[in-house]
Structure 1
Amino acid sequence: MLIDAHCHLDFEAFDDDREAMFDRARTAGVGHFMVPGTTRERWPDVLALGQRDDVHVSLGLHPYFMHEHGEGDVEALAQMLDDHPEVRALGECGIDARFEETLDDQWELFSAQLRLAKARHLPVVIHCVHANDKVSKRLRQLDLPAGGLIHAFAGSPDQAWKFLDLGFVVGLGGAVTYERAQRLWRAVKSLPEDGFVLETDSPDMPLCGYQGQRNEPARIVQVCEMVAKLRGETTEAVAAQSTATAKRVFGLDLP
């Protein structure tokens, strides 16, 4: 069984065929899904998906949506985490340095969420774009007890190992399928078998050959095949490694 360790199945892009999307994923061998929350407005939809036997969730405030976050959102997140013990992680949160105009506010929001995760011993799901070194430095300062996931990792082997040394794993998705991703390929080859999980970031992060199309969890099989090719391993071995690591990181009691 494969686990899609990061997919936004609550997004409107799936409203017209959500059940069919789940069916395609199951047919492809994807048996479980981690769905992260991104904004306070979307948390109820994420929690509703979490009622499914094949879905677990996390809740957070995503840096891409800074214009949607408001006063009291961090306090509301703290309350939601206390009210919903089924939530397996805090996130998606993090830093997206492409948006310089909100960067100071991003760091403030990110730090506040990291403090919540530390106080509750929750793993953290981190969005990190053009900020690997600064984010790893911040994580080292806080010494988070439960580690977490660096989602959509696209950095160097050295950057990957800095995160691993802090108790985090890296998420591998559509980016690994592009030939231009030579630095990422080197990182993938360097990872220990318990240092990564497979993900799609559906409906985003399309694989090579699917540019401009909606992504979906069934395509994690192709991500698995590419990772296996890079590592010189079988797809069965990579799938088993990723699934075991996702279970460990998120505390999933699955067969």
Structure 2
Amino acid sequence: MIDTHAHIHFPQFDEDREEVIKECEEKLDAVITVGCDLEDSKRAIEVANSSKKVYASVGIHPHEARNYSERDYERIVELAQSPKVVALGEMGLDFYRNLSPKERQYEVFHMQVEIAKELDLPVIIHTRNAAKEMADFIKKHFDGVRGVIHCFSGERELLESALDAGLFISYAGIVTYPKNRELRETLKYVPSSRLLIETDSPYLAPQPVRGRRNKPTYVAYTAMTVARELGLSFKDVDRITTVNAKRLFNLPLTGEEEKKRLVYQVGDKLYINLTSKCPCSCKFCFRGTEDYVLGYNLHLKREPIPEEYMYRIKNPGVYSEIVFCGYGEAFERYEALKKVAEWVKKFSKDTPIRVDTCGLGYLITENEKILEELKGLIDSFSISVNASNKEEYLRVVRPKFGERSWDSLVKFIKDAKELGFNVRVTAVDYPGFNRNEFEKFARELGVEYRIRPFKRFKKWEE
């Protein structure tokens, strides 16, 4: 686990800093101690140099912007090139206290963004009482800039602009506070590949230790809340946020973290990733934008043989469900799907098998007998429809088979239900999606349905 935002170089840690760092070294993968002005950033670098697991950022907090100007450009560049510096910041806009004039905040913020472009470093963004202004700034100045919204406090306009720009979203201890239900609600809109956690220690201790001085290892409490809200395990959130932090801050990934996953576990379910090919180009899809999903690299460069999956599954009976769901469409490798499913059922008849599919299996395989062939092997289908009519489907899902896709999809759903499979149709609640019509569509087909939150990976208009 990584605490992506702490201030362990602050005076609050002067008495026991070595002890705190030792605890971090024992329990965490890394800590980033974040600078707030140039002198403070020097102290952050000194502390980072004292431990292999502590890194630093260099930046000017909006509160301190009054003391700096564009004349300080070269001073920041020089500090930022220290070996343990992994980011610029924290920087941004703070119109709550207005300790610096707004004009100077904008000037110093923009200067640091330009340095980030020059040095190819990510930025750590602070914003308070300036969500709209920050959203507008990101739209204008963040083309090609990597970074994170630190201690996100729940503003939807800022969330959308940040995700459109490819930024990460970091949740601090405030997400654990009982009254912050609306902030916790925003978690479901953040793609798993953009999620981070932090402490902002010594401030904002999470609920179980609220009132105490915060410290980096307390980031685990935030992870627990995130896991509970997203229906994930603590282990899942640990993996997801650790990999994301390493990707953003260019920290070394382990061999396991880099590995392209043929199978991957989430909670007590095992997922099988057969291929990266898919006949659809859904407007909301992450394919081509993100390779990492739920902390796993799923973008396969080759198509492994079925035996490679069998070897990795090992004992199918230990999982509550096995799901064919990966980067692409499982029916693109129908024979492999069938062979792996046969193997699973041979060793564990009671382990349910589900296929998550776009429902175009008939067109992909050019075989309308596939459902009959899968009887006794597959227990259920989760079919991603994302529309309630042909026109909407072609516009949003954009299948390569064109006009005939919709009728084939509907036939697949009806046939699967008639043959006794458990069938659920799903949709993403993208901009303009007609929830009522989709629910009506599912009821008319007599199948279950699920509507998933829309997670932004890029501008919807694009």
What do residues 186-214 of structure 1 show as CA deviations (whole Å, max 9, x unaligned)? 11122211121110011011222434321
Deviations 1:29-72 (A, max 9, x none): 32211111111112221111222210121100011234554784
Write the deviation string for residues 212-251 of structure 1: whole angstroms up to 9, x where unpaired.
Answer: 3210011111110000011111010011000010000000
* Secondary structure of residue in 1 paired with 2:29: strand
Match of residue 34 from structure 2: 36
In the other structure, the counterpart of 2:181 is: 182
Specify the code of the residue in structure 1 equivalent to 2:115.
Answer: L
SS at match of 1:90: strand
Cα distance change of structure 1 residues 68 and 21 upon mapping to structure 2, 3 Å threshold = farther
TM-aligned CA distance change 1:136 to 1:117, over 3 Å: same
SS in 2 for 1:6: strand
**Pick aligned residue for 1:90 from 83, 88, 91:** 88
Q: How does 1:234-249 map to 2 (within 5 A)?
A: 234-249=233-248
Listed one character per residue, the Cα deviations across residues 136-164 of structure 1 (whole Å, up to 9, x for unaligned) are: 22122123424111100012345323211
TM-superposed deviation, 1:26 = 4.4
Distance 1:163 1:71, change over 3 A: closer
CA distance in 2, matches of 1:70, 1:141: 20
SS in 1 for 2:148: strand
* Aligned position for 2:109: 110
Closer/same/farther in 2, CA of residues 112 and 71 from structure 1, 3 Å limit:
closer
**What is the letter of the counterpart of residue 147 of structure 1?**
R
In the other structure, the counterpart of 1:21 is 20
Unaligned 5+ runs, structure 2:
255-462
Percent of pairs with identical residues: 30
Structure ID, larger Rg: 2
Q: How does 1:5-84 map to 2 (within 5 A)?
A: 5-27=4-26, 29-51=27-49, 52-66=51-65, 69=68, 72-81=71-80, 83-84=81-82
Aligned pairs, number: 252
Q: 1:46 is aligned with what amino acid? A: A
Q: How does 1:141-152 map to 2 (within 5 A)?
A: 141-152=140-151
Q: Are 2:125 and 1:130 aligned?
A: no
CA distances 1:106-127 after superposition (whole Å, capped 9, x unpaired): 1111111111112222211001
For residues 235 and 54 of structure 1, the distance between their equivalents in structure 2, rounded to whole angstroms, comes to 22
Partner AA of 1:200 in structure 2: T
Distance 1:211 1:46, change over 3 A: same
Q: Which letter does structure 2 place at the counterpart of 1:250? A: F
Secondary structure of 2:169's match? strand
Equivalent position amino acid for 2:226 in 1: V
Q: Distance in 1 between matches of 2:253 and 2:8?
A: 20
Equivalents in 2 of 1:136, 1:66: separation in Å?
20
Distance 2:183 2:82 in 1: 36
Distance 1:144 1:86, change over 3 A: farther
Query: TM-score, normalization: structure 1?
Result: 0.91
RMSD: 2.0
Greater CA deviation, 200-209 or 5-14? Answer: 200-209
> Residue 172 of structure 1 contacts residue 199 of structure 1 at CA under 8 Å; is this kept in 2?
yes
Structure 1 residues 68 and 158: CA distance shift in structure 2, 3 A: closer
- Greater helix share, 1 or 2? 1
Q: Give, as a single letter, the amino acid of the residue that structure 2 aligns with 1:37.
A: G
Indicate the SS of the match to 1:244.
helix
Structure 1 equivalent of residue 168 of structure 2: 169
Aligned partner of 2:299 in structure 1 is none
In 2: Cα distance, 1:126 partner to 1:152 partner: 9
What is the rounded CA distance, in whole Å, between the counterparts of 1:49 and 1:89 in structure 2? 15
Following TM superposition, by how much is the alpha carbon of 1:20 offset from its aligned partner in structure 2, in angstroms?
Answer: 1.4
- Shifted more, 101-110 versus 64-73: the winner is 64-73
Q: Is the 8 A contact 1:157 1:188 kept in 2?
A: no
Relative CO higher for 1 or 2, CA cutoff 8 Å, sep ≥ 6? 1
- How many angstroms apart in 1 are the aligned matches of 2:232 and 2:14? 37
Q: What is the alpha-carbon distance in structure 1 between the residues aligned to residue 20 and residue 48 of structure 2?
A: 16
Name the structure 1 match of 2:444.
none
What's the offset of the Cα at 1:85?
A: 4.9
Tell which deviates more after alignment, 223-232 or 137-146. 137-146
Give the whole-Å Cα distance in 2 for the aligned partners of 1:214 and 1:70. 33
Q: Is the 8 A contact 1:26 1:218 kept in 2?
A: no
- Within 1, Cα distance between the matches of 2:142 and 2:40? 29
Unaligned runs of 5+ in 1: none
Residue 157 of structure 1 contacts residue 190 of structure 1 at CA under 8 Å; is this kept in 2?
Answer: no
